[in-house]
Structure 1
């Protein structure tokens, strides 16, 4: 239980709780995401990020961009590398929804926050997926409005 009124910062309290959990896990085991920590402890994303940073600085965990955070050191962890980076998986899922008609042309695609929560990833991972879809012609972005499915004639052809 967190002591919101105590003299110890919340991120340090969360780091202490996570430190105990991590000690019971094998090297290479995934650690809860920032979003999971944020949800579990009812704190801001910055607080969750700072707690993870403490454990990373202590050498208890490591992060692989686009894949997650894991117990141990990167060179000692027997984890299976992803076959497809998460941002590519998100882009592929959205592309399939567009092709299937679940996301209609000139209609908005789900917001960044929605995709972050749905896939339990960082904002940058979602932005990389969106950039890929934009580059390929599946979506376009209107400043201050959001991203939309491109008209069908703009879709890439095989």
Structure 2
């Protein structure tokens, strides 16, 4: 599919493939993430990022922080789905697991790597979710060891 030995940069080749796909999408449709592009084309993260940047600069896609990249010009944002950002969804699911007892106090929460694979998101998205959980009192982090479920007395008081 990609010509690794040709005279055209890989990111431009990926851009053209994505451009053809995006032309068939209605405005507001999700576009593959950098991680998904990496997996599909076997390219580096910077190659995927550069391809999306070209498409964004050409007005074919727009990005909503925490939600993803979507087909269409930036004025099509109203057509984008209005769901929780990915990090918020991770927070909600981990809080639910803590409440149900499947994640016990003073025991580790899943690692960044396992959460990245489970949710199909970037590492920064997982880090943001863990930071929110820490700020709210659901988890605490031990340097060089990981994050652990806080004791129940540290959990936020529910209204």
Please state which structure has a larger fraction of its residues in helix: 2
**Cα distance in 2 for residues equivalent to 1:32 and 1:8:** 22
Partner of residue 54, structure 2:
54
* CA displacement at 1:81 relative to structure 2: 4.0
Q: What whole-Å deviation, never above 9, does each CA across 1:73-94 have from its counterpart, x for those lacking one?
A: 1213552442433222210110
Q: How does 1:55-70 map to 2 (within 5 A)?
A: 55-70=55-70
**Cα distance in 2 for residues equivalent to 1:128 and 1:8:** 36
Judge which range, 29-38 or 2-11, deviates more. Answer: 2-11
- Deviating above 4 A after TM superposition, structure 1's stretches of 4 or more consecutive aligned residues are none
**Cα distance in 2 for residues equivalent to 1:150 and 1:77:** 38
RMSD: 1.7
**Cα distance in 2 for residues equivalent to 1:30 and 1:83:** 12
SS at match of 2:69: strand
Contact 1:61/1:70 (<8 A) preserved: yes
**Cα distance in 1 for residues equivalent to 2:34 and 2:143:** 28
Q: How does 1:1-158 map to 2 (within 5 A)?
A: 1-158=1-158
**Cα distance in 2 for residues equivalent to 1:80 and 1:23:** 16
| Gap change, CA 1:78 and 1:157, over 3 Å in 2 | closer
- Long gaps (5+) in structure 1: none
**Cα distance in 2 for residues equivalent to 1:22 and 1:80:** 15
Judge which range, 134-143 or 98-107, deviates more. Answer: 98-107
**Cα distance in 2 for residues equivalent to 1:74 and 1:38:** 24
